[in-house]
């Protein structure tokens, strides 16, 4: 059971052009908190295809090379759908701290997906902090997560 995320592994982070600016700010915040970061792109505001960045983040988490993943796109849906194609990935599209907390407590989410066009940067930062600090409750939820 994964209770909370361990800083011995990096956070894998990725975004498309719509999430690029939030990704860059989240990287600064995470680095200030002592997290190592593996940036899987994109690296500019130029239009790109979100799967090109969601797959590498999901692969790092799937292979145990990242403690967790964070993905950002315009709606959050594209990166979430892409990440959830990977075995062992439980990507959660979240829009407030309560949903983030429940995704960790009840679903043991290991990739946070953020909708940059629908939340403020401050909200994205707060949600990221909740994601990384909220433990999985286990218990009755463990059985359900195992069925995924």
Query: Is 113 known to be catalytic?
Result: no
Question: In whole angstroms, what is the distance from residue 144 CA to residue 52 CA?
Answer: 30
Question: In whole angstroms, what is the distance from residue 71 CA to residue 69 CA?
Answer: 7
Marked catalytic residue, from 73, 80, 94, 113: 73
**Using CA of residue 47, residue 49, residue 54, residue 59, what is the dihedral sign?**
negative
Query: Is 17 known to be catalytic?
Result: no
What amino acid positions are annotated as catalytic residues? 73, 106
């Amino acid at each position: 059971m994964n209770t909370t995320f361990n800083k011995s592994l990096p956070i894998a982070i990725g975004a498309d052009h719509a999430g690029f600016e939030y990704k860059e700010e989240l990287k600064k915040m995470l680095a200030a908190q002592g997290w190592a970061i593996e940036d899987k792109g994109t690296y500019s505001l130029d239009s790109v295809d979100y799967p090109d960045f969601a797959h590498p983040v999901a692969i790092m988490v799937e292979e145990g090379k990242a403690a967790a993943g964070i993905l950002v796109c315009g709606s959050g849906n594209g990166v979430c759908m892409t990440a959830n194609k990977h075995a062992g990935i439980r990507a959660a599209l979240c829009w407030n701290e309560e949903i983030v907390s429940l995704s960790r407590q009840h679903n043991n989410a290991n990739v946070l997906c953020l909708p940059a066009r629908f939340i403020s940067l401050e909200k994205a930062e707060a949600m990221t902090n909740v994601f990384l600090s909220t433990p999985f409750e286990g218990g009755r939820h463990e059985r359900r997560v195992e069925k995924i």
